[in-house]
């Protein structure tokens, strides 16, 4: 244990100090470009030498042992500093003179000698046997092609201007002809040494051919290189962990299970013909589902209200609480109707995105509005925000205790089922609790009716309908209690039998109970962002609308909502991206069983449990394509803002 | 929706003596506060799950199996044994040894927080204050990577850490090695390297929003005094950006501490490098006789992020806002 801690500490320290030294060193290096041109040449040469030597070492092309005996001292580690010094010396000399011939001489000879000396360290596995034809033809082709490109792109240039690209082309052609096409592993040390030496000659000549930069050019170089140094490390990491792997996954998704054979679109075909993932057999059920029918009715009602109220205020439609609320409820019901009919992992994912995004955003908005400038705002917001700090795994476990259902014969201990079964017992046995609840509910209905009537007298239709609806809702509950709401019933002998609700097993709604966990977490996020946006609405606007005689609810729908609509958009897109890749919650609560699987979990199982890498990659790409529209929206928004 | 009218009503009742108002008025004013009441009902609903878990973590196995959490005070009279720290002792030290997993988590979280901050600060500065060609589109491209689901990176990354990266050049049958075979799979390094890469687009976005808003004349006068970018960066920009650096640090701490997917992929669910989330999921996966330990284990995994959250909430909120609402 202690060893591991010390190891970690040392590792992290080395990584951080090492990166800091490299970074500061890089900055100092380019400082020299403006101050001391000779030293800049030395450092540049040193860096080139170091990088080339490291690559050769990494590919096991060169090594340095005192003898060929097995117990010979390994001096390989000395090679990097050695070549840093050698190449640095060449750079130093090269930048020390402005004379063209001298520069060519220093560069050419220096490159030839330094690179050629690799031949002394080349391992026998890397001996080179090039074909004579290749090493003659390819440098010529390279020189001609590069000079030709230069010629084609710039008009009116002299022959001497064509020399640098020709040298570059010849050098690259040499590399292709010797190391690229030659046989590595047979041949001689001399040929390998020549292979290095002539490449070095080309590189050195190329530097020698360009004149030294003047002061202005040096300053510009210093400035520009700073962008590279500052961006380099971050972009390198991004390319390594995001861009290259994503391209890799894309290619892999067209390959077989072991990633060896190209099989075209078969993986994608398998995904969308698998009824576990993509099942639309019951599509006709959408039209008979009670949810969709109710949803359509609510939607039409909302539309109708919008139209009618719109005519009153002289607009085609009026989007306020009276119309938006039924439309939102209707749309949600229709969506739930669709997603309980279309089954499979893919549709589960879409359901997750639709439900969590819309509900968390609405609840967040509601809390933001309710808490705005009310007593104890900070405490309330903190507590609702707190789940954001809990891991999805932790949240899944927390909610497993909420949803816990024990067999009917033993006492329930899950929070919700304890209440649910107690309610069932009350309604089934008509005990004291039952009548107490009836009294409480009756009082609430009375109050609600009272408020409704009073609002009617005050001519506030919004409040009137709102409290009327509350009264109706509670009246429904009372009716429900008489007809047996709750988890349990009486058996023939007249004894109460508990019927706990199995939240995680009852399909298809178990999916929704899992979504509740993420809603519980993300409402806080939506609330914080929207609350800040609401506080950002200019007070004058709100005051002005009040002066014009708008009620609270009108102010909310007509002033505040339009002002925060772009923020709502941001919250929605953020949540869509987040919910699309949900993984931990289904994993820890149901492990994807009982038809609650999601794409991220499917991907994990295929790639890392079944070792079907091609299929796993294809599932990952499906996720990617689902997120793509959001990405495009974000890019557009950024491009506008930038 | 309530506020203004509530204020109105409240000030009315301040001015008028209660006796002069009708019963109806008083009931009405009471009922008008219901929306605020709804808020508090929601707060209670939102707190119950965590509270229930916390309370259950102290109760004995019998107690947890026979009664809901709110009956904790009658546990000993019901004969289930009184609440104690025994569960914590067992998960942390004697039984599951979660204390090792906590240390593993720190071994991942610390580098995964510090390194991206440094890299992103350089990059954000370059995007904001160094003029170069293609700056705008490079920045947009970087930030748009925010939305990429990390699932698309996992399979090739795992291969990279396990086997290195060699590229075969077509037609001439040669391979070049770009990334050495370091055999990182199963070690914390693999996890924090991955976290670093994945965090960068967001970190650059967040820090850029802040650093690009710093006053321009500060930079100009520094340039005139002969300072170069590097000097400006560490003498001016870093000290001025402390708030946003703190905001990102908290964000990244929570995100890496709570991460499960990357750790599970790069380390798998066995071995002795498991961070706390993977260990916790393992405890959750073993049903039955250890179920009573689960709440204590979950609370241990949660206590660090929650503490950080409550202690530094101001910065965290700032991070959330800066990350989602463009300035």
Contacts of B176 in chain A (CB under 8 A): 59
pLDDT value for A622: 92
Contact between B52 and A367 using a beta-carbon 8 Å cutoff: no
Question: Would you tell me which residues 424-463 of chain A have a C-beta closer than 8 angstroms to some C-beta of chain B?
Answer: 447, 450-451, 454
Taking the Cβ of residue A331 and every Cβ of chain B, the question of whether any pair is shorter than 8 Å is answered with: no
- pLDDT classification of A304: cutoffs 50, 70, 90: confident
Q: Do A380 and A371 touch, CB atoms closer than 8 A?
A: yes
Residue of A nearest to B201 (CA): A238
Q: Kindly state whether residues B77 and B121 are assigned to the same domain.
A: no
**B71 and B110 share a domain?**
no
Q: Which of A397, A471, A599, A601 to mutate to test the interface with B (most CBs of B within 10 A)?
A: A397
Q: Which two tokens stand for residue A144?
A: 């001609």
Q: Return d(Cα B198, Cα B200) in angstroms, integer.
A: 6
Instruction: Find the closest chain A residue to B114 by CA distance.
Output: A16
Residues B56 and B111 in one domain: no
Cβ contacts of B6 on chain A, cutoff 8 Å = 374
Q: Is A224 on the interface with B (CB under 8 A)?
A: yes
Based on the domain organization, do B36 and B179 belong to the same domain?
Answer: no
Q: Which residue has the tokens 């890392």?
A: A608
Q: Say whether residue A218 is in contact with chain B using an 8 A CB cutoff.
A: no
Chain A residue numbers touching B2 (CB-CB < 8 A): 370, 374, 552
Q: Among A184, A233, A143, which residue's Cα sits nearest to residue A56?
A: A184
Q: Spell out which residues of chain B touch residue A4, defining contact as CB-CB under 8 Å.
A: 103, 107
* pLDDT on residue A23: 78
**pLDDT of residue B51 exceeding 70:** yes
Segment A108-126 shows an average pLDDT of 83
Distance (Å) from the C-alpha of residue A294 to the closest C-alpha of chain B?
26
Q: For a pLDDT cut of 70, what percent of chain A falls above it? A: 97
Last residue of a domain, one of B84, B104, B125: B84
Best B33, B147, B174, B176 residue to mutate vs chain A (most A CBs within 10 Å)? B147
* Closest listed residue to residue A202, CA positions, set A319, A271, A108, A289: A108
Average pLDDT over every residue of B293-300: 88
- Closest Cα to residue A175, out of A79, A55, A47? A55
Residue B5: pLDDT band (50, 70, 90) is: very low
Q: Which of B84, B114, B144 is where one domain is finished?
A: B84
- pLDDT of B288 over the 70 cut: no
Residue of A nearest to B227 (CA): A31
Residues of B in contact with A616 (CB under 8 A): 155
Number of helices (H) and strands (E), helices first, in chain A? 26, 4
User: From the centroid of its chain, how far is CA B238?
Assistant: 23
Q: How far is B239 from chain A (nearest CA, A)?
A: 18
Residue-level pLDDT at A533: 87
Out of A180, A249, A546, the one facing B153 most closely (by C-beta) is A249
Does the distance separating the beta carbons of A528 and B126 come in below 8 Å? Answer: no
Across the interface, of B155, B174, B309, the residue whose CB is closest to A249 is B155
Residue A235 has pLDDT above 80, yes or no: yes
Q: How far is B91 from chain A (nearest CA, A)?
A: 15
**Contacting A residues, span 528-587, partner chain B, CB-CB under 8 Å:** 528-529, 532-533, 546, 552-553, 556, 567, 570-571, 574, 577, 580-581, 583-584, 587
- A11-63: per-residue pLDDT in tens? 778 877 877 787 787 777 777 766 777 888 888 888 888 888 888 887 777 77
Statement: residue A563 has pLDDT above 80:
yes
Q: Assess whether B27 and B132 both reside in one domain.
A: no
**Would you state the pLDDT for residue B171?**
66
Write A624-627 long-range contacts (CB < 8 A, 24+): A624/A246, A624/A249, A624/B148, A624/B149, A624/B151, A624/B152, A626/A349, A626/A580, A626/A599, A627/A576, A627/A577, A627/A580, A627/A581, A627/B147, A627/B148, A627/B149
- Note the helical H segments in B164-293: 188-211, 216-224, 229-232, 238-240, 242-258, 261-267, 276-285
Residue A244 near residue B167, CB atoms below 8 Å: no
Chain B neighbors of A605, CB-CB under 8 A: none
| Contact predicate A302/A370, CB 8 Å | no
Q: Per residue in B256-272, pLDDT tens?
A: 999 999 999 888 877 78
Give the model's pLDDT for residue B172: 63
Q: Is the same domain home to B29 and B110?
A: no
Residues of A in contact with B130 (CB under 8 A): 223, 226-227, 230
Residue A73 distance to chain B (closest CA, Å): 23
Residues B100 and B18 in one domain: no
Residue B256: per-residue pLDDT: 92
pLDDT digits 0-9 by tens, A606-636: 888 888 888 999 999 999 999 898 888 888 8
Please name the residue that has the structure tokens 């004291």. Answer: A432
Whether A388 and chain B come into contact, CB under 8 Å, resolves to yes
Res. B2: pLDDT tops 50? no
Banded pLDDT at B32 (limits 50, 70, 90): low
Residues of A in contact with B103 (CB under 8 A): 1, 4-5
Is there a contact between B36 and A374 if contact means CB atoms under 8 Å apart?
A: yes
pLDDT digits (tens, 9 = 90+) for B314-324: 888 887 787 66
3-state class of A592 per DSSP?
coil
pLDDT at A205: 82
Among the candidates B84, B117, B140, a domain finishes at B84
Counting every residue, how long is chain A? 642
Q: Which residue has the tokens 């792109």?
A: A153
Chain B residues near residue A249 by CB distance under 8 angstroms: 152-153, 155-156
**Which band of pLDDT confidence, cut at 50, 70 and 90, is reported for residue B3?**
very low
Count of A–B CB contacts within 8 Å?
349
Closest CA to A501 of A490, A510, A492, A514: A510
Q: Which of A632, A579, A507 is nearest to A351 (CA)?
A: A579
Q: Give me the residue from A8, A241, A394 closest to B107, CB to CB.
A: A8
**Are B206 and B319 part of one and the same domain?**
yes
The average confidence (pLDDT) of chain B is 80
Q: What is the mean pLDDT of chain A?
A: 84
Same domain for B97 and B80, yes or no, is: no
The total of other beta-carbon atoms located within 10 Å of residue A600's CB is: 26
A551 pLDDT more than 90? no
Query: Chain A: nearest CA to B198, how far in angstroms?
Result: 7
Number of domains in chain B: 2
Instruction: Read off the pLDDT of residues A502-543 as tens digits, 9 standing for 90 and up.
Output: 888 888 888 999 999 999 999 999 998 898 888 888 888 888
**Mean pLDDT for the stretch of residues B166-174:** 68
Q: Do B302 and A630 touch (CB under 8 A)?
A: no
Instruction: Find which of B21, B37, B55, B68 to mutate to test the A interface (most A CBs within 10 Å of its CB).
Output: B68
Residue of B nearest to A581 (CA): B149
From the list B50, B120, B126, the residue facing A398 with the nearest CB is B50
Element (H, E) at B28: helix B23-32
Quick one: pLDDT at residue B324? 64
Instruction: Indicate the residue of B228, B233, B298 with minimum beta-carbon distance to A394.
Output: B298
Same domain (yes/no): B195, B240: yes
Of B137 and A179, the structure prediction assigns the larger pLDDT to B137
- For residue B311, the domain's CATH number is 1.10.3720.10
- Of the pLDDT bands very low, low, confident and very high (cuts 50, 70, 90), residue B29 is low
**Alpha-carbon gap: B163 to the closest alpha carbon of chain A (Å):** 14
Residues B39 and B109 in one domain: no
Q: What CA–CA distance (Å, rounded) separates B171 from A53?
A: 26
Taking a C-beta distance cutoff of 8 angstroms, is the pair B251, B266 a contact? no
The residue in chain A having the minimum alpha-carbon distance to the alpha carbon of residue B314 is A382
pLDDT above 90 coverage of chain A, percent: 9
- The Cα–Cα gap between A511 and A519 comes to 13
Quickly state the pLDDT bin for A70 (edges 50, 70, 90).
Answer: low
A144-158, A545-559, B147-161: which is most confident: B147-161
Which A-chain residues 343-372 have CB contacts (< 8 A) with chain B? Answer: 363, 367, 369-372
Residues 6+ apart with CB under 8 A from A213: A37, A221
CA distance A116 to A190: 9
Q: Closest Cα to residue A418, out of A510, A426, B81?
A: A426
Which residues form the domain of B207?
A: 93-324
| B232 & B117 share domain | yes
The answer to whether A380 contacts chain B (CB < 8 Å) is: yes
* Nearest CA-CA distance, residue B284 and chain A, Å: 7
| B177 Cβ neighbours under 8 A, 6+ residues apart | A58, A59, B164, B165, B166
Cβ within 8 Å, pair B257-A627? no
Is A4 an interface residue toward B (CB < 8 Å)? yes
Nearest to residue A140, comparing CAs of A179, A172, A116, A107? A172
Instruction: For residue range A257-285, list pLDDT tens digits in order.
Output: 887 788 888 889 888 888 888 887 777 87
Position A461 confidence tier, pLDDT thresholds 50, 70, 90: low
């Amino acid at each position: 244990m202690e060893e591991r801690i010390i190891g970690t500490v040392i590792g992290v320290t080395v990584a951080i100090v090492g990166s800091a030294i490299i970074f500061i060193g890089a900055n100092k290096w380019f400082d020299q470009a403006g101050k001391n041109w000779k030293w800049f040449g030395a450092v540049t040469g040193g860096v080139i030498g170091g990088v080339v030597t490291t690559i050769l070492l990494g590919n096991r092309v060169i090594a340095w042992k005192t003898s060929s005996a097995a117990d010979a001292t390994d001096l390989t580690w000395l090679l990097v500093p050695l070549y840093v010094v050698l190449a640095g010396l060449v750079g130093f000399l090269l930048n020390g003179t402005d004379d063209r011939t001298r520069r060519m001489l220093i560069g050419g000879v220096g490159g030839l000698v330094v690179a050629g000396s690799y031949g002394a360290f080349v391992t026998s596995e890397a001996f080179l046997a090039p074909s004579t034809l290749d090493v003659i033809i390819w440098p010529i082709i390279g020189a001609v092609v590069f000079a030709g490109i230069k010629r084609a792109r710039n008009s009116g240039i002299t022959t001497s201007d064509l020399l640098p690209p020709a040298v570059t082309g010849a050098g690259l052609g040499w590399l292709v002809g010797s190391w690229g096409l030659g046989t590595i592993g047979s041949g001689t040390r001399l040929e390998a040494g020549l292979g290095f030496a002539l490449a070095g000659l080309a590189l050195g000549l190329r530097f020698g051919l360009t004149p030294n930069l003047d002061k202005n050019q040096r300053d510009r170089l210093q400035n520009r290189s700073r962008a590279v140094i500052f961006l380099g490390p971050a972009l390198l990491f991004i390319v390594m962990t995001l861009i290259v792997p994503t391209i890799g996954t894309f290619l892999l998704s067209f390959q077989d299970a072991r990633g060896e054979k190209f099989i075209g679109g078969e993986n994608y075909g398998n995904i969308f013909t698998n009824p576990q993932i993509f099942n639309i057999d019951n599509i006709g059920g959408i039209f008979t589902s009670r949810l969709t029918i109710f949803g359509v009715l609510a939607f039409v009602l909302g539309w109708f209200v919008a139209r009618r109220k719109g005519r009153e205020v002289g607009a085609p439609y009026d989007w306020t609480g009276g119309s938006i609320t039924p439309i939102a409820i209707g749309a949600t019901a229709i969506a739930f109707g669709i997603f309980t009919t279309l089954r499979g992992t893919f549709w589960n994912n879409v359901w997750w995105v639709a439900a969590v995004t819309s509900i968390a955003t609405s609840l967040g908005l509601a809390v933001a509005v309710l808490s705005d400038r009310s007593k104890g705002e900070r405490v309330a917001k903190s507590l609702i925000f707190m789940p954001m700090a809990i891991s999805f795994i932790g949240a899944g476990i927390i909610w497993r205790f909420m949803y816990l259902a024990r067999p009917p014969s033993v006492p329930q201990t899950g929070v919700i089922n304890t209440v649910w079964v107690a309610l069932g017992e009350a309604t089934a046995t008509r005990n004291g609790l039952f009548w107490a609840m009836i009294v409480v509910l009756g009082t609430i209905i009375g109050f609600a009716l009272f408020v409704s009537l009073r609002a009617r007298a005050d001519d506030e239709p919004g409040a009137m309908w709102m409290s009327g609806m509350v009264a109706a809702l509670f009246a429904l509950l009372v009716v429900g209690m008489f007809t047996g709401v709750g988890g349990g019933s009486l058996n023939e002998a007249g004894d109460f039998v508990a019927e706990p609700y199995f939240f995680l097993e009852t399909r298809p709604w178990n999916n929704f109970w899992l979504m509740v966990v993420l809603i519980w977490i993300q409402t806080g996020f939506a609330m914080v962002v929207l609350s800040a946006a609401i506080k950002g609405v200019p007070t004058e606007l709100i005051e002005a609308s009040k002066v014009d005689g708008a009620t609270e609810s009108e102010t909310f729908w007509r002033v505040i909502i339009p002002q925060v609509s772009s923020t709502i958009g941001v919250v929605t897109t953020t949540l869509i991206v987040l919910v699309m890749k949900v993984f931990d919650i289904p994993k820890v609560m149901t492990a994807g069983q009982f038809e609650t699987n999601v794409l991220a979990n499917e991907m994990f199982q295929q790639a890392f449990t079944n070792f079907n890498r091609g299929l796993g990659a294809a599932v990952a790409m499906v996720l990617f394509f689902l997120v793509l529209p959001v990405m495009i929206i974000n890019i557009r928004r950024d491009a506008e803002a930038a | 929706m309530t506020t203004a009218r509530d204020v109105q009503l409240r000030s009315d009742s301040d001015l008028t003596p209660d006796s002069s108002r009708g019963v109806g008025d008083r009931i009405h004013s009471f009922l008008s506060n219901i929306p605020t009441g709804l808020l508090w009902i929601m707060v209670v609903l939102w707190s119950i799950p965590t509270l229930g878990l916390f309370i259950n973590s102290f109760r004995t196995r019998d107690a947890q199996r026979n009664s809901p959490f709110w009956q904790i005070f009658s546990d000993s009279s019901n004969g289930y044994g009184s609440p104690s720290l025994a569960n914590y002792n067992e998960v942390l030290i004697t039984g599951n040894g979660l204390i090792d997993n906590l240390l593993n988590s720190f071994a991942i979280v610390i580098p995964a927080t510090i390194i991206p901050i440094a890299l992103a600060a350089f990059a954000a500065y370059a995007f904001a204050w160094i003029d170069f060609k293609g700056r705008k589109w490079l920045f947009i491209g970087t930030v748009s990577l925010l939305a990429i689901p990390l699932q698309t990176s996992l399979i090739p990354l795992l291969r990279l850490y396990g086997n290195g990266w060699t590229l075969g050049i077509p037609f001439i049958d040669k391979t070049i090695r770009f990334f050495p075979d370091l055999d990182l799979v199963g070690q914390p390094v693999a996890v924090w390297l991955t976290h670093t890469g994945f965090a960068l687009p967001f970190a650059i976005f967040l820090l850029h929003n802040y650093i690009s808003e710093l006053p321009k004349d500060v930079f100009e006068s520094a340039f005139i005094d002969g300072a170069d970018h590097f000097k400006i960066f560490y003498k001016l920009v870093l000290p001025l950006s402390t708030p946003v650096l703190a905001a990102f640090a908290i964000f990244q701490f929570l995100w890496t501490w709570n991460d499960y997917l990357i750790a599970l992929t790069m380390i798998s669910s066995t071995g002795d490098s498991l961070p706390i989330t993977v260990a916790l999921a393992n405890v959750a996966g073993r049903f039955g006789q250890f179920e009573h330990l689960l709440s204590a284990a979950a609370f241990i995994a949660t206590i660090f992020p929650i503490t950080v959250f409550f202690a530094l909430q101001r910065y965290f909120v700032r991070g959330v806002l800066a990350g989602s609402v463009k300035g």
